[in-house]
Structure 1
Amino acid sequence: MSLLKDSLSSIPTCYATVSVGTPKHNLEDKLKAIATAGFQGIELGFLDLLSFASKNLGREMGPQEFDVLCKAGLEVKRMCKELGLKIVMLQPFANFEGWKPQSEERKEAFKLAKGWIRIMEAVGTDMLQVGSTDSPIPTARDVAVSDLKELADLLAPHNFRLAYENWCWSTHAPDWKDVWDIVKKVDRPNVGLCLDTFQTAGGEWADPTTRSGLLEHESRADLKKKFHESLKSLAATIPAEKIYILQISDAYKPKKPLDPSPDESGLRPRGRWSSSLRPVPFDGGYLPVIDVVKAVLETGFRGWFSMEVFDGGPDGQDQGWKDMPAYTKKAMKSHERLLQEVKT
């Protein structure tokens, strides 16, 4: 498919609230910075909603105080409407699928899901992002499929959708092929994919634990060939209508290789890399972002392009100090350049 300029001009632009400043920053200031930069929508980060509700009440809110969170969500909806921003998605719903039947963890996951559905109703979004679990407990694929079917059926009466994302440090679905296989087996009309340039290239091309920053179990030429074969398969395999959103970020190569072992919280190196070393494209990163975006566009997808970055600078220590309006404007320039670069 030729990626002509006129076919790209209508792509809507989105920005994740968690990707500017920190949850401690004022959410209204974040929204104003996003809107002023020209973005049309947001991914609403749950931690930002929690922080907003806490500040409004003058006390630390709990993540399951859903009555209060829904009231706060109505105010966020109002602010977004005034700024001309659509709330595209609530994110990130993590470690949902794969728990043992009848376990307390599974009951808690579904309790949270029902609460998040209430929040979605309050803020006026129809999409919930679910990240592929990174629990150390082994997750059988058929169990994950069953859980996601049940969640999809909870969402369906509200006309809500589930956007399933591969997290490249996931224990059971780190690649796009994994989540696509799961989505096909879930086989619900309201379940699709949240694809992500970092998650795709960061898992199949790069490795933050090596000196080169790349996977090193094969030659550079073989790595390049294998990666581009994967992208070719993505372009030929996934129907455009099953891609709900494309999240975009690059990654800095760590200044020194990350420890390959999980940290004290159990987070694997790619998860640690993800949390603070993800700039906008063309700003010091090294992932083949353009190649991933081209592959997604070649499916025919022309939906939301969303900047989801976690930019702590090349050393990972500077997150949160940025001039938010300046950073969101830089992100929009990155988006505009990306559309220029992907044209063929």
Structure 2
Amino acid sequence: MRTSVATVCLSGTLVEKMHACAAAGFDGIEVFEPDLVASDHSPEEVRALAARLGLTLDLYQPFRDFEGVTEEQLEDNLRRAEAKLALMQRLGIDLMLVCSNVATASVDSDEVSAAQLRRLGELAQRYDARIAFEALAWGRHVDDYRRSWRIVELADHPAVGLCLDSFHILSRGHDPAAIEEIPGERIFFLQLADAPDLSMDVLSWSRHHRLFPGEGSFDLAGFVAHVLRTGYDGPLSLEVFNDTFRQTDVRRTATHALRSLVWLEDAAAAQVAEPPAGSAGWRRLTPAPAPTGFDFVEVKGEDTGEVEVLLDQLGFRFRGRHRTKPVRLWTAGDARVVLNEQQARDQVPHVAAVGFDVADPRAAAARAGELMAPRVHRRTYATELPLDAIAAPDGTEVFLCVSPAGADAPWVEEFEGAAQAVASPLDGARLDHVNLAQPWADFDEAVLFYTSVLGLDAETGTKVAGPRGLVRSQVMRTADGAVRLPLNVAPAATEGLAQHVAVACDDVVAVARRARERGTRFLPVPANYYDDLVARYGLADDVVAELRDLDLLYERDAEGEFVHFYTRTVGEVFLEVVERRGRYDGYGATNAPIRLAAQGRT
């Protein structure tokens, strides 16, 4: 299907937005009236630019507070409308969005609204234009798409149809199933936006917190499927009001926006049997199952020696140096950590890459390409295994690997000079989760990236109180927990958050004792924390004494227990060792403020 985007979604001038939309690959745009009014380009110049860029101008919006008014007001509204219809003719746009009236003095009558829209339709017809009537979620009387459809039916004019907007319908909790009762040819336009699940007035929610599809809590795939079943064959268009997107780089945001539509079209098409008759068909993505686990984590820096000492103290085994690159490999059970000092001048140690085990790397890479994920290229010699890789929004490199169950990854053979194996409490370890700190501007894009490209699910987001403010956190994961990827955003007043790698083991106490004996400096936990543990859980004195002695943290829920500890930060990364007991499935959320406060003191 054709794709479109409202210019209100993007930063910059109207001309900059048009260039960005064309570069991203959109078919068309909705012209947001304030963008045109502020532009120094005439309507004719905008029309010519769109033609040169290969963009269609699909909709002019918004026209407000037209229907449900007195006869005197109607005459003035028709005057306003005619001026805009003449402007649209200069632009070459034949569809105008008319929002339901929000004024307190409006008339609550379907018959009055329909008659007035019919007059507007007659006027629009003289300009070879049409009217798409939309029920605003905060409309004074018309705030439900089912009522706006009744009014359009009563208007009974070929130039008057509906605009359906997912936010206005889903934010009010209206059932979209009745959309299928509307003839597809009467739906003139479709606007799409996702949103987080928030408890606030719907107008503020709409103006500041809409998201691109796949980033919020709405079932947009189901919503679009209802619309497609009507036979609607117009564009899928985005209308996203969001404070972040209107500040970020316009070209990057346009690509981000199109990625969301490509993903949504594929997800919705999977629920519908056939494309509408006469349509160009649906764009489908290459199927690629979600990852089955972590393959490796790469820590990169000019000098990773301190991380190497830490891994050794914790019980990792040195597996050798890469035969052609300044890269070293350390493993513990199935957990693999790569230390990379190549092209890392002036960089402190940080998580630079994450490798995921996938069933079909080629299919996963093809899907990533279809979703416009940037490819990562690393020099590979003829004797080395090439690995497909893409870049996440924050620059983290994501490798698509395949490792046989119960065996080393094939690329491990490229490392030489392994040390003799020594028994360690970490011998049965595995990577439990990798926590990636995100720049504030990348957070929502990262959620969409890991959802659409890797097929991870987004858990309900949380906020954790730290000494410098609230840390926003969103866990991306597979259903079975084989891959867990928490994404965090630091408070605005801070310089950022360190990233960390969590390793799961069967006996965290034994790991902690060995590491302590070998000189590991744990993140210190205050005595007040252990006093609170006694009050919260009623733990036995000897249990608390052991936790206190080893700086271990503890959490319990109805499913099981979680015992873990943190190392001190090296550069921009630290390690966590965890033990999950029973069916505990969390991350020790009640202990996060303790960690943040302790890190702030060290």
* TM-score above 0.5: yes
Q: TM-score, normalised by structure 1?
A: 0.75
Please identify the structure whose Cα radius of gyration is greater.
2
Structure of greater relative contact order (alpha carbons < 8 Å, 6+ residues apart): 1
Please, which of 115, 136, 139 is the counterpart of residue 167 of structure 1? 136
1:108 match: 76
Please, which of 98, 120, 124 is the counterpart of residue 68 of structure 2? 98
Q: What displacement does 1:319 show?
A: 5.1
Deviations 1:21-43 (A, max 9, x none): 2xxx3111100111111111111
1:208 match: none
Deviations 1:98-153 (A, max 9, x none): 11122xx4333222101101111100011111011111124222221111111100
2:250 match: 324
Distance 2:205 2:177 in 1: 26
Distance 1:157 1:50 in 2: 24
Deviations 1:299-330 (A, max 9, x none): 11121110111122xxxxx3521111111101
User: Does the 8 Å contact 2:74/2:116 carry over to 1?
Assistant: no
Q: What displacement does 1:292 show?
A: 1.0
1:86 match: 56
Distance 1:87 1:201 in 2: 27
Q: How does 1:297-312 map to 2 (within 5 A)?
A: 297-312=228-243
Q: Which letter maps to 1:117?
A: L
Q: Which letter maps to 1:129?
A: L
Distance 1:296 1:233 in 2: 10
User: Does the 8 Å contact 1:141/1:172 carry over to 2?
Assistant: no
Deviations 1:45-69 (A, max 9, x none): 111110004xx6xxxxxxxxxxxxx
Number of aligned residues: 269
Please, which of 154, 158, 163 is the counterpart of residue 123 of structure 2? 154
Distance 1:122 1:86 in 2: 14
Range that drifts further, 137-146 or 123-132: 137-146
Distance 1:157 1:101 in 2: 21
Please, which of 13, 30, 34 is the counterpart of residue 3 of structure 2? 13
Matched, 1:273 2:205: yes
2:530 match: none
Q: Which letter maps to 1:303?
A: G
User: Does the 8 Å contact 1:99/1:106 carry over to 2?
Assistant: yes
Q: What displacement does 1:290 show?
A: 1.6
1:36 match: 23
Matched, 1:240 2:166: no
Unmatched segments (≥5 aa) in structure 1: 1-10, 57-71, 206-226, 259-268, 313-317
SS at match of 1:149: helix
Q: TM-score, normalised by structure 2?
A: 0.44
RMSD (CA atoms): 1.4
Distance 1:98 1:232 in 2: 27
Please, which of 30, 34, 43 is the counterpart of residue 73 of structure 1? 43
Matched, 1:144 2:134: no
User: Does the 8 Å contact 2:3/2:27 carry over to 1?
Assistant: yes
Unmatched segments (≥5 aa) in structure 2: 272-602
Higher strand share: 2
Matched, 1:119 2:87: yes
1:292 match: 223
User: Does the 8 Å contact 1:37/1:328 carry over to 2?
Assistant: yes
Deviations 1:223-280 (A, max 9, x none): xxxx3xxx33221x111111111111111233xx32xxxxxxxxxx212211111110
SS at match of 2:158: coil
Q: Which letter maps to 2:253?
A: Y
User: Does the 8 Å contact 2:110/2:150 carry over to 1?
Assistant: no
Distance 1:44 1:35 in 2: 14
Q: How does 1:173-322 map to 2 (within 5 A)?
A: 173-205=142-174, 227=175, 231-235=176-180, 237-254=181-198, 257-258=199-200, 269-283=201-215, 285-312=216-243, 318=244, 320-322=246-248
Give the 3 Å change call, closer, same or farther, for CA 309–341 of structure 1 in structure 2: same
